[in-house]
Chains A and B, each alone.
Chain A
């Protein structure tokens, strides 16, 4: 319809009657929005229409030009020529006196002014010459507009936005920030909201100028209005830097205590992030995190616990201090799960430091062994504790068995009770610990030694070591590790048995005698015949790799592991891989590890293919993939061409 009527509308644009023309112009705006190709029809009349005196037509024309410039860079270049004309129009508007028709409270035609300013913004963006032409005018508008009423403020706001977005002079930018600062002090909430939003946009480019208004911004945090406090929170978080981090964190923490629940998560993660980037001392950092956890523990992100444990682990001199503070915090309140998890871990690791003597940095705290054990048992039994927390507490109890000097009967009792717990993960841990007490008591001290500092984002092996201590969600990592290397690790433990500080990694969750089963296996674990890996498919970030294993005891068997990795930005879902081989082969497809390949190199999907090739015929393999990626369904069928000869000879 637009295409058919475009020429008609163009004719109407040039008709004498203003009533029809103003409507025709806005119709043209809509047509261009719907069908951008019609721009070249409506481009020529614009220049003529700009000479109009009628405000309605002028307004429509400005909107039309704005629309044209936004859609095509060629139009943008074309219309840069009219900047002087626009400047002239705006100047006349600003300098003319009061006109009954168009003025609102002392500002002549604010709608038209705002629209012109918006167009100037688009034309002046990244263009020195146009920006220079506008400088004087913008200064004039900024200083002359009456700001007692909303209309004036609206024009002023648009002027500030234009100054910020174009290449304006430095003095002008300072003027803009000052205007925003004045807005911030205004009593009208709307104006303050608008000021906070613009300052947020400016904070990247003119950081120091915005810093000057920091106290006012912090004031706005205390507003009861939710939209305002949200904006103020975002702006305050953006304004934190190394010099004001202590004061700002203080303010933000008091805000955290009183803020509405939907802002809590953002505030907590913001504080933690700021603390991480600008912490002046480690002790301050630990204190801050502790305070955040006690006030808003349930709203922090999942990796806060891991970060804190790593931080504490790294700060050797603060072990005693942190374990004491965590113990007192835990003694008061065991409902905040992240806090409980960190405290349990700390108490487990540094329990001896907790019990021995005093530490200069906190008040002397006399803690008895029974109190510590009682607290951990309380955590274990509390209905508020998540399964992950219980896991932490149980492990901590075990570690204390080597750290404490008393006898371990109480601990052994608790551990054996949990051997019949309903939760499988807890049960598995308890049974393993039980076995550790009974059969491998001599190894217990070595296994439960203090953990070495784990590198953040370390190798797969270290993550496997840490998985016993870390949250249950990391158990998935261990399961993807190929069984062969796990066997080798365990055998190393057996051979060296000299404080490798490596707790036995959990395998199949069969209760009872798991350890014994593993340790009884023969030493000769067959090294798989090494065949080079093959990348067979790549499309838009999704890669498919094949890795081959020829087990020596069954020469006719070939095990292929198909791994799908996704390095693009979007997830791949409903991923199905099917394979076909010639008739002489037997193919068995095992179930894949999943059907979603997460983006950015997340956990790959693996699938095992077993091919039985009794006749040693040349292997041919055809793969069919179906998946959803970037909003499209993809089906790919291809033959794997360059299979190495070792796969079938």
Chain B
């Protein structure tokens, strides 16, 4: 996978994960063009399109578009499964996820994505393991918070 973008129906970018090194300007340009192209598609059209020399796989969940760019040799149908798996993970974690959850807890969304995909390849195929890893990371955060609360800075 080369990159994954999440954007709303109005074209606002909610999440972007790039697995290829590109300059900021290029990223913005690609994002703009791709968002326009995908939003122009009608609801009944198929989920795959060819854009530049990449294959784009996109799926709409409620008000969010999940869009992945894959290389020529990758399997499009399994990419749809990848997108679906990611949505399931988010759902399990946030409990019935909606766009607001992703907007306000975007760092968690990135953590989950990073546990699921690494460098554009699927890292962990078991839902349970991914969620376990996230839970452990959360626990670490909690522990840190407690430590900071208890530390006193009074001389």
Contacts and interface: CB of A to CB of B under 8 A. Distances in A.
Interface of A: 19, 22-23, 26-27, 29-30, 55-56, 59-60, 63, 100-102, 104, 109-112, 114-115, 118, 150-151, 153-154, 157-158, 161, 189-194, 224-228
B39 to A, nearest CB: 15
7 contacts: A23-B118, A55-B126, A60-B123, A102-B126, A110-B81, A114-B78, A150-B77
Interface string B121-148: 1111111110001000000000000000
Contacts of B31: none
Contact of B123 (A23, A30, A109, A151): A23
Contacts of B124: 22, 55-56, 59
Contacts of A193: 46, 48, 76
A115 B128 CA distance: 21
B102 interface: no
B81 A111 contact: yes
Contacts of A19: 133
The 7 A-B pairs at the shortest CB distance, nearest first, are namely A154-B77, A189-B46, A101-B126, A56-B124, A154-B78, A26-B118, A225-B45
A101 B88 CA distance: 13
A27 B82 CA distance: 20
Chain B interface size, under 10 / 10 to 19 / 20 to 34 / 35 or more: 20 to 34
A102 B119 contact: no
B50 interface: yes
Contacts of B29: none
B155 interface: no
B112 to A, nearest CB: 15
Contacts, number: 98
A559 B110 CA distance: 73
Contacts of A161: 75
A580 B21 CA distance: 49
A59 B50 contact: no
Contacts of A228: 46
B80 interface: yes
B15 interface: no
B47 interface: yes
Interface string B60-97: 00000000000001011110111011000000000000
B122 A59 contact: yes
Interface of B: 44-50, 73, 75-78, 80-82, 84-85, 118-119, 121-129, 133
A63 B49 CA distance: 25
Contacts of A226: 45
Given A59-B125, A104-B81, A157-B75, A225 B118 contact: no
Contacts of A191: 77
Contacts of B44: 189, 224-225
Contacts of B75: 114, 118, 154, 157-158, 161
Nearest to B47: A190
Given A23-B123, A56-B126, A111 B78 contact: yes
B119 A55 contact: no
A158 B78 contact: yes
Contact of A225 (B46, B73, B119, B129): B46
A60 B81 contact: no
A306 B126 CA distance: 63
Contacts of B122: 59, 111, 115
Given A56-B123, A56-B126, A190-B76, 7 more contacts: A26-B118, A104-B85, A114-B75, A154-B78, A158-B78, A193-B48, A227-B46
Given A26-B119, A30-B119, A225-B46, A190 B77 contact: yes
A494 to B, nearest CB: 60
Contacts of A55: 124-126
B125 A56 contact: yes
Contacts of A194: 48, 76-77
Given A19-B133, A112-B125, A190 B119 contact: no
Contacts of A101: 126-129
Nearest to A230: B50
A102 B81 CA distance: 13
Contacts of B76: 190, 193-194
A22 B123 contact: yes
Given A158-B75, A227-B48, A190 B125 contact: no
A201 to B, nearest CB: 11
Contact of B119 (A27, A56, A112, A115): A27
A22 B123 CA distance: 7
Contacts of B48: 190, 193-194, 227
Given A23-B123, A56-B125, A101-B128, A154 B46 contact: no
A35 to B, nearest CB: 14
Nearest to A55: B125
Nearest to A158: B75
A158 B76 CA distance: 10
Contacts of A100: 128
A190 B58 CA distance: 11
B81 A154 contact: yes
A190 B80 contact: yes
B45 A150 contact: no
B81 A151 contact: yes
B27 to A, nearest CB: 19
A226 B129 CA distance: 40
Contacts of B128: 100-101
